[in-house]
Amino acid sequence: MSEATPTGERLETALYACHTAPYTHLDLPDIVLPHWTISFVAEGRVRMCTGRRTYQVMPGDVMIHPPNVAFRETNPHTGLHLWFACAIKVHDPHPENLLDRYPLPPVVSLRGEQITAYRETFARLQSAHEAPASGVNRLRRAAYIAELFAQLIEAWEITGSVPRPDAIASPVGRFASVIAYLRANLSATVTRADLAHIACLHPTAFDRAFVRATGQTPLRLLSEMRLTEVRQRLESTDDTLETIAQATGLTDAAHLSRLFRARFGVTPGKWRQGVIRTKTGYLSPLSDK
């Protein structure tokens, strides 16, 4: 299921399982699952091992298991987990797993009102998952999955945004710092050597590894990011093309216009006019009489 965000990003979600799981004791040997598995510990204390590290997981903590990464969970006593398995991608401008953009660690801690909000949203997701399949329920599932991840990401950012260890990072996730650098430096001159240094690789090896992980070169991705930013500024600001070109590293208005038309099929001016017509063409506010 896909949904668009106000800034033009698109989320793509899929839900494979959603369960409330009570147990008398827990002993999951090293298992590998094909999808992201998110498990909230409602009751009990869990010893979880993954990526050659061990974590003591308390009630209110959420375990984040990446796909195709082995993990072990044990608890000799009773417990209760609320868990779901899913996929979630964000398209802006290229598709990437949301949890590569936000590399949540194996354990995210929720506290106080965060726990209440998470449990309430999970209950809604489970209800939608168990209801008969329909277009409406697919929309609800997508919305609840997005909300649960928003809550997890917010809690992670509040506590310092410590990233997932490299040992359990995905191929794209290993370049999360490079992609974040590109996104934060759209107006700068970026070289292959700069990016290779961030990734701690030789420039030639970096290029090959980046293309294998993402399907495109870093400079091609940077171009896509710049044009996406141009589109968003056309939609949300009154900035001139020269100002937007300077802010996005595209030299000047003429260069920006050529690239924009080649990418989106219309000139920047026509794109902005279409947005203005959309904003003002239906039930525009009436002046007081």
* Secondary structure in 3-state letters for the chain: CEEECCCCCEEEEEEEEEEEEEECCEEEEEECCCCEEEEEEEECCEEEEECCEEEEECCCEEEEECCCCCEEEEECCCEEEEEEEEEEEEECCCEEEHHHHCCCCCEEECCCHHHHHHHHHHHHHHHHHHCCCCHHHHHHHHHHHHHHHHHHHHHHHHCCCCCCCHHHCCCCHHHHHHHHHHHHCCCCCCCHHHHHHHHCCCHHHHHHHHHHHHCCCHHHHHHHHHHHHHHHHHHHCCCCHHHHHHHCCCCCHHHHHHHHHHHHCCCHHHHHHHHHHHHHCCCCCCCCC
Q: What is the pLDDT of residue 10?
A: 78
Q: What is the pLDDT of residue 47?
A: 97
The dihedral through the CA atoms of 266, 268, 270, 275 has a sign that is positive
> Would you say residue 93 has pLDDT above 70?
no
Paired residues of 265 in beta bridges = none
Q: Which residue has the higher pLDDT, 65 or 287?
A: 65
Q: Which of 55-59, 79-83, 180-184, 260-264 has the lowest mean pLDDT?
A: 180-184
Q: Which residue has the higher pLDDT, 138 or 287?
A: 138
- Please report which confidence band the pLDDT of residue 287 belongs to, taking 50, 70 and 90 as the band edges: very low
For 205-217, what is each residue's pLDDT tens digit? 998 988 888 888 8
Spatial distance between the Cα atoms of 169 and 173, rounded to a whole number of angstroms: 5
> What does each C-alpha distance from 51 to 121, 132, 152, 165 come to in angstroms?
29, 38, 21, 8
CATH of segment(s) 2-161: 2.60.120.280
Q: What is the percent of the chain where pLDDT is above 70? A: 92
> Would you say residue 40 has pLDDT above 90?
yes
**Region 183-202: what's the mean pLDDT?**
90
Q: What is the pLDDT of residue 5?
A: 42
Q: What is the pLDDT of residue 250?
A: 93
Residue 128 · residue 144 · CB < 8 Å: yes
Q: What is the pLDDT of residue 235?
A: 86
Spatial distance between the Cα atoms of 25 and 250, rounded to a whole number of angstroms: 59
- Please report which confidence band the pLDDT of residue 6 belongs to, taking 50, 70 and 90 as the band edges: very low
Q: How far is CA 203 from the centre of its chain?
A: 27
Q: Which of 59-63, 104-108, 129-133, 173-177 has the lowest mean pLDDT?
A: 173-177
Same fold, 2-161 and 173-278: no
Spatial distance between the Cα atoms of 156 and 82, rounded to a whole number of angstroms: 19
Q: Where are the domains of the chain?
A: 2-161, 173-278
Q: What is the pLDDT of residue 240?
A: 95
Query: To which CATH superfamily is domain 173-278 assigned?
Result: Homeodomain-like (1.10.10.60)
Q: Which residue has the higher pLDDT, 265 or 288?
A: 265
Residue 86 · residue 145 · CB < 8 Å: yes
What is the bridge-based pairing of β-strands 79-91 and 10-23? antiparallel
pTM, 2 dp: 0.73
Q: What is the pLDDT of residue 166?
A: 77
Please provide the average confidence, as pLDDT, over all residues in the chain: 88
Spatial distance between the Cα atoms of 283 and 91, rounded to a whole number of angstroms: 31
> Would you say residue 228 has pLDDT above 70?
yes
**Residue corresponding to tokens 């001139």:** 240
